[in-house]
Amino acid sequence: MESRRWLNRYQPQTLVTGTMLLYIEGLFNLVRGTELMFIGLAMFPAAYAIANDRRWGWRLGVGAAALAVLLRLISILSYGFTPTVLLILVFPVALLALLVHPISREYQRVWFS
């Protein structure tokens, strides 16, 4: 019997942390506006699919994280750079870095279906 899980602790630490950040960032993006709301909605199935070793989930997670970083950079250009902008960029950049880390990429290439 195949088990479904929300978090797979047998994956490398970069993917486990990336999965947790996808859930957290997805939840926060739901309340940050319409553009980020749709990205947040895409992060939940991506995190669930990564926890269940699905390659499409990893691709969706990388795309959603990259789009979140891009939208925040665009908002920085339109509103100007302030010290609080660094706080706005911390989680999306960390999420993207965790998902595209060489260990994460290699693990999904070998083990994901």
Residue (of 10, 17, 9, 13) closest to 103 by Cα position: 13
Alpha helices in the chain (DSSP H): 13-29, 34-51, 55-79, 83-99, 102-111
| 37: its two tokens | 């709301």
Residue reference for tokens 């950079």 = 73
Confidence of residue 1 (pLDDT cuts 50, 70, 90): very low
Number of other CB atoms surrounding residue 82 within 10 Å = 10
Give residue-wise pLDDT tens across range 19-43.
Answer: 999 999 999 999 988 888 999 999 9
Per-residue pLDDT of 51-91, as tens digits, reads 999 999 999 999 999 999 999 888 888 878 777 777 888 99
Rounded distance between C-alpha atoms, residue 102 and residue 88, angstroms: 25
